[in-house]
Amino acid sequence: MKTLDRVLVLPELPEPIERLEELAYNLWWSWHPEAAELFETLDPALWLRVNHNPVKLLRFISQERLNEAAADATYLERYRRVMHAFDAYMNATDTWFARTFPDKADKPIAYFSAEFGLHESLPIYSGGLGVLAGDHCKTASDLGIPLVGVGFLYPQGYFQQRISADGTQEAIYEKINFEEVPVQPAKTPDGEDAYVRVELPGRTVTARVWKIQVGRVPLYLLDTDVDPNAPEDRELAARLYGGDNEMRLSQEIILGIGGVRALRVLGIEPVAWHMNEGHSAFLGLERVRELVEEHGLSFAEAREAVAASTLFTTHTPVPAGHDAFTFDLIERYFYTYWPRLGLSREEFFALAHHDLPWGPRFSMTVLALRLSAFHNGVSELHGHVSREMWQELWPGVPVEEIPIGHITNGVHFWSWIAPELAALFDKYLPTDWRERIDDPEVWEALDAIPDDELWALRRELKQQMIEALRARVTVQRTRHGQTSAELRHVADLLDPKALTIGFARRFATYKRATLFFRDLERAHAIITNSERPVQIIFAGKAHPADEPGKALIKRITEISKMPGFKDRVLFVEDYDMHVARLLTHGVDIWMNNPRRPLEASGTSGMKAAINGVPNFSVLDGWWREAYDGTNGWPIGDEREYESEDEQDDADARSLYETLENDIVPLYFDRDEAVPHGWLQTVRASIRTVAPQFNTVRMLKEYVHMYYIPAAEAWARFTADNFARARALAAWKQRVRAEWPRIRLVAERPATHVVHIREPIPFSARAWLGNLTPDDVRVEVVYRYEREDVRTPIRTLTLTPAGLESDGSIRFTGELVPEENGRLEVGVRVVPHHEDLLTPHAMALITWAE
């Protein structure tokens, strides 16, 4: 037929189930299995084909199926139950946040992220950062936190991964059909479609604003593939992490500057702002510009108000992982913008200046640190690494006092727990356990689950995974041109009885995906043991430009075809949230062996642990905090090495020894086919990880430590036409000007041996120039050292005791040692003002001579 045109004919939802459409457009369904089942049971085969996407399902399902469901009493009963739960959730007024902060329930908190991992059918995420952002939004919804997400709706998203027969990674970009994903046009308060405009060199780019509803939390996503943009600008944000540095800069300008404008167009006035990674740091500049141009503040005054209400979370312990641009590029994009901030070119560049081995750069991390008063890393160790990495911005300040804290990541429990396991918990945990997952006491009841029941479920989850993986491999090998005779061998792939190791993550070289094969003979012996067989499943994408990462994938594919390894080593293509669920539910142990300390946190191991899949990992990121000797196994030692080679050798040896001596024997130690000892580790894994490494605990910490203080600072700083922001800026300017003249001379303690609790007098003279004792704090800084163990730094504030004849002011005080050991002391002067939100906010410090 000669086609003239195409028209999409949609089925019509029968009246008794007409709200399925509304349900499909709220991602709430994705973490409520009974809601997902409503869609699945309509047409299970279609559900698989549409990649669990209910919007698409409702486009293509046959009218007959819908009519049947609408006439099926059991289906209708389930439908009513789900819709009732949905309405109760959406209309709830007694959420955790509303109860805890009743006066703040309607004050929005903006959360900016370059990627959001919400569901496999919405490929606008690449990995851990995005999945964390998605889990953050879902949990904010569950807790009633008035969060508003801002990001991109990339029309081509992140790539799909195909692995060719020889192990080559191919990147496929498919255009997302916006009709088939749960996005809707965002509307202005007047009911108009929302658009924003952002200036780029020589032109203005328009971005459309879309909305995705994540439970109660709206997510606003920008899209530049719209009229009247030029073709290159329509492509500008087509892909996540696609294109060169210049495209990346353009994307970040649209995200930061366009994102602020989007919220304004929508009539949303956040009281706190969260930059999830440095990609969105330009949001701080845009907010400064608003205050300068619309409220007449100076740059310094505006910056005080902006920083006071902003949190920046850094995620990267790898220096090269921080976005940085050349000044030439920045000049081209910002030369019309910095005058609007009231800054000169030099001042603007200095804001984000960072010296790198390959030359000075405009660093998005430095910019983010300078435009936010609150900063954090994503695990305890990563907090420490970040303080060391950025110490140069606070010269003279001891590393442990650098104002970068940490909140360890977590996972959204309901998105990652196997529904079958949650059903088992319903049977044995306290009846209100679903409301108390962050309460350790709930998890003590795990011991009540009988071993054989727990083991039967673990085996069932593994069997489901193996079948799903065989189906995926069949699709892949069909594509490779295998005959149906050859395809029959897929049935031999993976052994349900073998101890199954899962390894899935981004294929960056520091993650060392091939470490298990460092000694190929030893790996072979472990895998092919006929009594105690072991198998290993890999998945993960390498960035399309990362050749060494892609070579690792190829190497694993090669090994998976070698004698002995065949059918026992598998690389699963196209790692996404669906594959992540399959693997973290179905394998027996979860392995992670990055080169320490380069893993900021990691979250996939938490998903595994809560499903009863113990971790076997390097003591880095979150696992360093979670491992307690009973809930899994470590790889390697917590130490540093001369060379990467030496580290890799040591870690590989440790990996083999632990597998051979501990893990494999425990797994195969059975009594009537049940591995009682193993199940103790399974229980310990759930009991220790579930209450701690979930996003309920994490979000509550974000709220208490940062969101509420930021919102309160914003209220204070903006009151009376920004009186406090103006005063603080003026005070800082005065202090900064005087600081070079400050001198401090301290007297040494008269004696060097005292007894515990015997006061040690301290006295120091300070020359403060035109500052007064109120503008500063003179402090004794001290810590104890006993047998190489040092306590954290503590401080004692000295009090002014009068003017000396030499023009100095004397400060005195008594330190009463409350511990014995070697006492290390220093004396210093730092600026002090009640509106400084963190110590060392000014990075000025003078130590006593």
Ligand X SMILES: *Cc1c(COP(=O)(O)O)cnc(C)c1O
Q: How far is the CB of 416 from ligand X (least distance, A)?
A: 8
Distances in Å between the Cα of 367 and the Cα atoms of 201, 312, 396, 705 are 21, 10, 20, 22
784 contacts 791 by C-beta, under 8 angstroms? yes
Q: With CB under 6 A as the contact rule, which of the stretches 28-36, 280-288, 572-580, 693-701 interacts with ligand X?
A: 572-580
Q: How far is the CB of 503 from ligand X (least distance, A)?
A: 10
Q: With CB under 6 A as the contact rule, which of the stretches 127-135, 215-223, 651-659, 664-672 interacts with ligand X?
A: 127-135
Q: Which is nearer to ligand X, 118 or 143 (CB)?
A: 118
* DSSP H helix total and E strand total for the chain: 32, 30
Rounded to whole angstroms, how far apart are CA atoms 24 and 123?
A: 17
Closest CA to 213 of 30, 13, 418: 30
Q: With CB under 6 A as the contact rule, which of the stretches 321-329, 364-372, 514-522, 598-606 interacts with ligand X?
A: 598-606
Closest CA to 35 of 12, 59, 15, 52: 52
Q: How far is the CB of 837 from ligand X (least distance, A)?
A: 30
Q: Which is nearer to ligand X, 378 or 684 (CB)?
A: 378
634 binds ligand X (CB under 6 A): no
Distances in Å between the Cα of 386 and the Cα atoms of 283, 626, 795, 827 are 22, 20, 23, 26
Q: What's the DSSP call for residue 747?
A: P
Of residues 276, 314, 604, 615, which one binds ligand X by CB under 6 A?
A: 604
Of residues 455, 575, 667, 706, which one binds ligand X by CB under 6 A?
A: 575
Q: How far is the CB of 539 from ligand X (least distance, A)?
A: 9
Q: Which is nearer to ligand X, 123 or 182 (CB)?
A: 123
Q: With CB under 6 A as the contact rule, which of the stretches 152-160, 472-480, 604-612, 818-826 interacts with ligand X?
A: 604-612
632 binds ligand X (CB under 6 A): no
Of residues 131, 196, 272, 610, which one binds ligand X by CB under 6 A?
A: 131
Q: How far is the CB of 180 from ligand X (least distance, A)?
A: 21
Q: Which is nearer to ligand X, 493 or 508 (CB)?
A: 508
Q: How far is the CB of 187 from ligand X (least distance, A)?
A: 32
Q: What is the crossing angle of helices 299-308 and 282-295, to 10°?
A: 130
Rounded to whole angstroms, how far apart are CA atoms 588 and 682?
A: 9
Q: How far is the CB of 598 from ligand X (least distance, A)?
A: 12
Q: What's the DSSP call for residue 10?
A: P
Distances in Å between the Cα of 705 and the Cα atoms of 366, 554, 628, 702 are 22, 45, 26, 5
580 binds ligand X (CB under 6 A): yes
617 contacts 605 by C-beta, under 8 angstroms? yes
Q: Which of residues 605-624 bind ligand X (CB under 6 A)?
A: 605, 607
Q: What's the DSSP call for residue 192?
A: P
Q: With CB under 6 A as the contact rule, which of the stretches 219-227, 303-311, 324-332, 602-610 interacts with ligand X?
A: 602-610
* Segments in 161-281 forming alpha helices (H): 231-235, 245-253, 259-265
Tell me the three state secondary structure of residue 570. Answer: strand
Q: Which of residues 431-470 bind ligand X (CB under 6 A)?
A: none
128 binds ligand X (CB under 6 A): yes
349 contacts 293 by C-beta, under 8 angstroms? no
158 binds ligand X (CB under 6 A): no
54 binds ligand X (CB under 6 A): no
Q: How far is the CB of 203 from ligand X (least distance, A)?
A: 36
143 binds ligand X (CB under 6 A): no
Of residues 108, 123, 127, 167, which one binds ligand X by CB under 6 A?
A: 127
Of residues 104, 287, 382, 505, which one binds ligand X by CB under 6 A?
A: 505
Q: How far is the CB of 172 from ligand X (least distance, A)?
A: 17
Residue-wise DSSP of 662-706: IIHHHHH--BTTB-HHHHHHHHHHHHHHTTTSBHHHHHHHHIIII
Q: Kindly state the helix (H) or strand (E) to which residue 275 belongs, with its residue range.
A: strand 272-276
Closest CA to 634 of 651, 610, 612, 609: 651
State the maximum Cα–Cα separation within the chain, in Å, rounded to a whole number: 104
Q: With CB under 6 A as the contact rule, which of the stretches 104-112, 221-229, 575-583, 807-815 interacts with ligand X?
A: 575-583
Q: How far is the CB of 595 from ligand X (least distance, A)?
A: 14
Q: How far is the CB of 755 from ligand X (least distance, A)?
A: 51
Q: With CB under 6 A as the contact rule, which of the stretches 182-190, 525-533, 601-609, 734-742 interacts with ligand X?
A: 601-609
603 binds ligand X (CB under 6 A): yes
Q: How far is the CB of 658 from ligand X (least distance, A)?
A: 20
Closest CA to 169 of 572, 555, 559, 542: 542
736 contacts 790 by C-beta, under 8 angstroms? no
**Residue 64 in tokens:** 């007959």
Q: Kindly state the helix (H) or strand (E) to which residue 647 belongs, with its residue range.
A: helix 644-658
515 binds ligand X (CB under 6 A): no
Closest CA to 446 of 457, 622, 672: 457
How many other β-carbons are positioned within 10 Å of the β-carbon of residue 177? 11
Q: How far is the CB of 601 from ligand X (least distance, A)?
A: 7
**Residue 451 in tokens:** 């071993």
Q: How far is the CB of 609 from ligand X (least distance, A)?
A: 11
**Residue 555 in tokens:** 């190497």
Rounded to whole angstroms, how far apart are CA atoms 519 and 148?
A: 50
Q: Which is nearer to ligand X, 155 or 602 (CB)?
A: 602
Q: Which is nearer to ligand X, 128 or 634 (CB)?
A: 128
Q: How far is the CB of 602 from ligand X (least distance, A)?
A: 4
Of residues 576, 588, 620, 648, which one binds ligand X by CB under 6 A?
A: 576
Q: Which is nearer to ligand X, 274 or 585 (CB)?
A: 585
**Residue 239 in tokens:** 């892909």
Rounded to whole angstroms, how far apart are CA atoms 245 and 224?
A: 18
577 binds ligand X (CB under 6 A): yes
Q: With CB under 6 A as the contact rule, which of the stretches 126-134, 155-163, 307-315, 380-388 interacts with ligand X?
A: 126-134
Rounded to whole angstroms, how far apart are CA atoms 142 and 1?
A: 52
Site size with ligand X, rule: CB under 6 A: 13
Q: Which is nearer to ligand X, 298 or 617 (CB)?
A: 617
Rounded to whole angstroms, how far apart are CA atoms 402 and 302?
A: 24
- What is the rounded (10 degree) CA torsion for 724, 727, 728, 730? 160
602 binds ligand X (CB under 6 A): yes
Rounded to whole angstroms, how far apart are CA atoms 840 and 828?
A: 12
Q: How far is the CB of 46 from ligand X (least distance, A)?
A: 24
Question: Which parts of this chain interact with ligand X (CB under 6 A)?
Answer: 127-128, 131, 505, 575-577, 580, 602-605, 607
